[in-house]
Amino acid sequence: MELAYQIPRRSLIWVLVAVVMALAPHVMRLPVWISLVAVACIVWRVLIFLGKLDYPGRALRVALVLFIMGGAATQLQSLEIGLDVAASLLALGFIFKLVEMQSKRDIYVVLVLGFIMALVSLIYSQGMLNSMYLTLMVIVIVGSMVSVNRTAPVGKRPATLGVAAKITAQSLPLMIVLFVVFPRIGPLWGVPAQSGASTGVSEQMSPGDISQLAQSTDLAFRVSFEGAPPPLHQSLYWRGLVLDYFNGMTWRRQSNSALAEAFINGPIGIDYQDRVRVAGNPLRYNVIMEPSRQRWIYGLHLAEPLTPEITRGRNFELINRTDITQRYSYNLLSYPDHRTDLLLLDITRRRSLELPDDGNPQSRELAASLRASVATDRDYAYTVMALFQQQFRYTLSPPLLGPQRIDDFLFNTRAGYCEHYASAFTFMMRAGGVPARVVVGYHGGEYNRFEDYTMVYQYNAHAWTEVWLEGEGWVRFDPTSIVAPTRITEGFEAALGDDPNFLTESRFSLARFRGAGWLNTMRLRLDAIEYLWNRRVVSYSMERQAAFFERWFGTTSKSGVLIVLGLSSLFCVGLVALLVIRRIPTANNRQFDRLYRDYCDQLARLGVPRRNGEGPLDYCRRVSAERPELAVSLDGITRLYMEIAYQGDAHSGSSEAVAELKQRLREFRNGLGRKPLWRPG
C-alpha cells in the first residue's frame, strides 16, 4: 500500500518512547490484559515500519473493537463506572491509534492523547516525583513533535531534546502565572472516585486488622504545628473513629442513626458548648492526609475543624464532606486540656454498655468479681489495666482466637496487638457496668527536623479505649501502655523492631534503615521536599489564593483579578518573545553573511556590483558570464554559502563550513592579485 507519508525512523523512536512514558504511570492500575495489548501494539507498529506487517484493515479493526468490548465487559464488570474504567478505555484508544498511525495528522492525535494521559495521571497523584516525571514526559512529547517536523540533515541541526527542553522552559513563566493568578474555581463536572480498597483504619475492628496495617510503611499523613513544638510522643493520639457496637467477634461503628447521618450530611445546630469543657491554650496545626478513599480524618482530641468541609460527628469524630481520594490539607485546633460529655445521654449510655446476650462467660465472671472489689469506676479501670501486667505479650503475630475471643485472649493465649488489648479492656469495662468504647486511629509519629513536621505512617495505627467516669466525662485508657510501655513512649520501632513480622510488607522501604545515618538523613530530606511541594503547591487553594491577592494587590474583586491576570500574562509572553527574538541571529550579524557581503563588495570593486533583489545563484551566473576566468571560484564560494545559509543551521552555521568559506574567500582575494582587475578592452 502506497503511503502519503512515511514517518522517519528517528521520529518513530521519539513517538514510541512518548507512548511508553505515557502508559507507564498507569500500568499498576490497568488490567493486565490491557498492558499486554499495549506491548503487542508497540511491537506491531515497529514491524509495520520494518515492512514485516501491514496496517490493520477494516475487518481486523472491527474484530479488535469487538474483542476489546468483550474483554472490557468481562474484566471491568466488577468495578463501578469511575476513573479507573475511564483511564482503561482511554489507554486502549491511545495504543490502537498508534497502530493505525499513517499520516502526520495521526501522529499529532497520538501525541495529544499522550498529553491527556498525563492529565489523567495527575488526577491520581500530584506528588512531586510524579510531577517531575510528567514534566519529562511532556518534554519527550514536544520532542516528538519537533522530530516529526524537521527537514534538515541530522548533522546540521541542534539536538531534538535540547529544542524540546527550551520550548518547555519557555512555557514555564506563563504556567506559573496562570497557576498563581488564575481564579481557583471548582470542577465543572464530578470525577468518580477511583476504585480499589480503602487504606488505613476502617469502620470495624477484629483481631489482626490493625496488626496487618502495622506491617506497612505507607504514609498516613503529615502534621505541622503552628507556633509551638509538637507535643511529646506519648501524647500524640490521632483520633479517628469510635467503635461502639460489639457482636462478640467484631467492633463496629454505629453510623446508621439519624443523628450520625445529620452530622455527616450537614450541621443541624447542636450546641457543642453543652458537651465540652476546655482549659488552657489550644494547639493549631495543619494536616496533609494521604488518599484513604474514606470520609473520616484524624486529629488530636478535642479537635475543632477550621476547614469548612469538615464537620464533627456525634462522638467528636472528624468527618469530611466527601471521600479523601487525593492528598487533602486541612487545619485543626485542639485543646489538650478538655472534658467531654460530663452529662451522658441515656441513648449514649445504653450504646456504651451494650454487649451480646451471651458469650465469654469467664470474662463476665471476672469483671463482676473485680467490680465488686473496688469502690469507684476509676479504681475498677485501674484494676483491669493491672491484669495486663501478668504475663501478657505484645506481638504482631498472635495465635488465632476461638469463638469466645475475649475469654481465649485473657485466659489462654495472652498474646496480641493493640486491638486485642483495647477490645478485651472495653469488654471488661462494659461487663462491669462502666460505659466504654473502642477508638481507632494512630499513635505517635516520626519528627522531621528539616521542615519541623511529624510523619505518621500506617504502622502507627493504634486502638485504645475511652471510659466514661462520673464527673470527668470520657477519659482515655490505653492498655498497650501497660503491656508495652515503649510502644507509647518511644514508638512502634522501639517496641517491635525485633519482631519477625516487623514491616514484612515493606522490606525495601528506607524506613527499615533508620540506623544508617546518611541514608536516614537522605530519606528525611527527600520527604521534607515532598512535604514542601504538597503544602506550597498541591494545597494552593481558593482561600490561599484570595489571601495572596489581598496581601500583594490589596484586592480580591473580579475586575482586579482579571487585570492582574491579563497584565502578568502579557508580561510573561512579552518576556519570552523578547528572549527568543534576541537569540535569533539576523542577516546583519551572522558571520557567514558578513563574509558573503565582503565578497560582494570585492566583486563590486571589480565592476560587477550586485543588483537589488538579486539572489546568490543569479549573481554568480551573471558575474561568471562577464568574468569567465573567475567562474570556478565564484561557483564554489556561492554553493558553499548557499549550503551554510539554507541547508544547515541557519542560526549560526557549522564552524567547519564557516572556516572553509573563510579559506576560499582568502584564496579568492589572493588570486585577484595575479589577475587583471578588468577585462582587456
Nearest residue to 126 via CA among 524, 509, 539, 457: 539
Half-sphere exposure (Cβ direction) of 324: Cα atoms closer than 13 Å: 25
In degrees rounded to 5, what are phi and psi of residue 242?
-105, 125
Distance CA(434)–CA(353), nearest Å, equals 7
301 an active-site residue? no
Amino acid in the structure at residue 528: A
336 within 8 A of 280, measured Cβ to Cβ: yes
Q: Verify whether residue 338 is a known catalytic residue.
A: no
Q: Classify residue 499 as exposed, middle or buried by CB count within 10 Å of its CB (0-12, 13-18, 19+).
A: middle
Asked if residue 302 has a cis previous peptide bond (ω within 30° of 0), the answer is yes
The answer for residues whose C-beta is within 8 angstroms of residue 112's C-beta and 6 or more apart is none
Query: Residue 13 has which C-alpha cell?
Result: 523512536
Element (DSSP H or E) covering residue 424: helix 418-431
Identify the active-site residue in 244, 407, 408, 478.
478
Active site residue 462: yes
Which among 209, 244, 338, 418 is annotated as catalytic?
A: 418
3 state SS of 286: strand
End-to-end CA gap in the chain: 65
C-alpha count within 13 angstroms, C-beta hemisphere, residue 246: 34
Helix (H, G, I), strand (E, B) or coil at 629: helix
CB atoms within 10 A of CB 462: 28
Q: Catalytic residue among 41, 462, 527, 620, which?
A: 462
Query: What phi and psi values does residue 90 have, to the nearest 5 degrees?
Result: -65, -40
Residue 168 contacts by C-beta under 8 Å, 6 or more apart in sequence?
135, 138, 139, 142
Q: Taking Cα atoms as reference points, which of 307, 263, 293 lies closest to residue 201?
A: 293
Q: Catalytic residue positions?
A: 418, 462, 478
